[in-house]
Amino acid sequence: MNADLHSHSTVSDGVLGPEELALRAFRNGVDLWALTDHDDTSGLDLARAAAEELGLGWVSGVEISVTWRGQAVHVLGYGFDPQDVTLEAGLCAVRAGRAERAKRIGALFEDLGIRDAYAGAMRFAPNPDSIGRTHFARLLVERGLFRDLQSVFDAYLKPGRPAYVPHTWAEMGAAVQWIRGAGGVAVLAHPTRYRLSGAELLELCAQFADCGGTGIEVVSGPQRPQYASAMAKIARHFDLDASRGSDFHAPLESGVDLGRAQALPDGLRPLWERLP
């Protein structure tokens, strides 16, 4: 079963539209695909129609930005009703802060001598409600200031760097409840990518399981093979389902293409066994 339950379209910070992603997933041999744009479900109608047309397995998805102990953590939701009004109100509130934050990022770049970054980043954001750091990073790469997105994040956009603007996203328990209330299941995204000690990661997972989380991304995007076995241990310890996704954003940027992330280790309960 080639499940890829993590990908981004132009609705958030990906560069392909939902239909192009569906086609790419299909061609790459994906059996079950989810579009998981940041804090926004407006691509799901197109994604579903394209998947149905292709005979590609599809489930609704979203990636919600959450603040946990002062840092951004991502919670994926699957199999929910995209029309659910409480979920949509929650996502709308999370998105509402993005425009203001982007203006502040632009002002910091201005102070650093990088002109018109806000307007420039907006050109990379077909959905202005979803403007984020990736769009700024693409602009600086386009201007020839950096080789790749990672270098821009390292120089300017990560916490502690000069164009980083701290932001308060949703509460973890609230995000999980929005997803569950809409009939879906919540999965902790890319647990190896947070700046947490081993003990803190265990606390995060415990709290996530406690507040109603169902699964954890054991395989997410490009990651060292040994991380999958470490996350598998955590999944078993907290009795969480295991998920897998490429976190694909763009053909020339993403370390792993759709459907090409490593396989889940054995002895886990794959999340997709409980999805519709």
Smallest Cα–Cα separation from 43: which of 22, 63, 64, 17? 17
Q: DSSP per residue over 19-73, as a string?
A: HHHHHHHHHTT-SEE----BT--TTHHHHHHHHHHHT-EE--EEEEEEEETTEEE
Chain residue whose CB lies nearest ligand AMP: 132
Between strands 71-78 and 185-188, the pairing is: antiparallel
65 is an interface residue for ligand AMP by CB under 6 A: yes
Residue type, 87: L
Stretch that binds ligand AMP, among 44-52, 112-120, 126-134, 211-219 (CB under 6 A): 126-134
256 is an interface residue for ligand AMP by CB under 6 A: no
Stretch that binds ligand AMP, among 15-23, 46-54, 130-138, 216-224 (CB under 6 A): 130-138
Smallest Cα–Cα separation from 8: which of 138, 148, 154? 138
Q: Say which entry of ligand AMP, Mn ion, none residue 78 contacts (CB below 5 to 8 A, set by partner kind).
A: none
Nearer Cβ to ligand AMP (150/229): 150
The helix (run of H) or strand (run of E) holding residue 9 is: none
Among 48, 133, 138, 180, binds ligand AMP (CB under 6 A): 133
Among 58, 153, 178, 272, binds ligand AMP (CB under 6 A): 153
Stretch that binds Mn ion, among 5-13, 88-96, 212-220, 235-243 (CB under 5 A): 5-13
Backbone angles phi, psi at 162, to 5 degrees: -70, -15
Site for Mn ion in 189-218 (CB under 5 A): 189
95 is an interface residue for Mn ion by CB under 5 A: no
User: Which ranges of the chain does DSSP label H, i.e. alpha helix?
Assistant: 18-27, 44-54, 85-111, 117-123, 133-142, 149-152, 172-181, 198-210, 225-237
CB of 96 to Mn ion, least distance (A): 18
Q: Please give the Cα distance from 10 to 249 (Å, whole number).
A: 9
Among 24, 74, 135, 138, binds Mn ion (CB under 5 A): 74
Task: Identify the residue whose tokens are 């993005």.
Answer: 98
Among 52, 92, 142, 150, binds ligand AMP (CB under 6 A): 150
CB of 266 to ligand AMP, least distance (A): 29
Q: Say which entry of ligand AMP, Mn ion, none residue 244 contacts (CB below 5 to 8 A, set by partner kind).
A: none
Look at the alpha carbons of 239, 244, 247, 253 in this order and tell me if their dihedral is positive or negative: positive
Site for ligand AMP in 19-38 (CB under 6 A): 38
CB of 73 to Mn ion, least distance (A): 9
By CB atoms closer than 10 A (0-12, 13-18, 19+), residue 34 is buried
CB of 153 to ligand AMP, least distance (A): 4
249 is an interface residue for ligand AMP by CB under 6 A: yes
Measured between its terminal Cα atoms, the distance across the chain in Å is 15
37 is an interface residue for Mn ion by CB under 5 A: no
Q: Which residues bind ligand AMP (CB under 6 A)?
A: 13, 38, 65, 132-134, 149-150, 153, 249
Q: Which residues bind Mn ion (CB under 5 A)?
A: 13, 63, 74, 189, 247
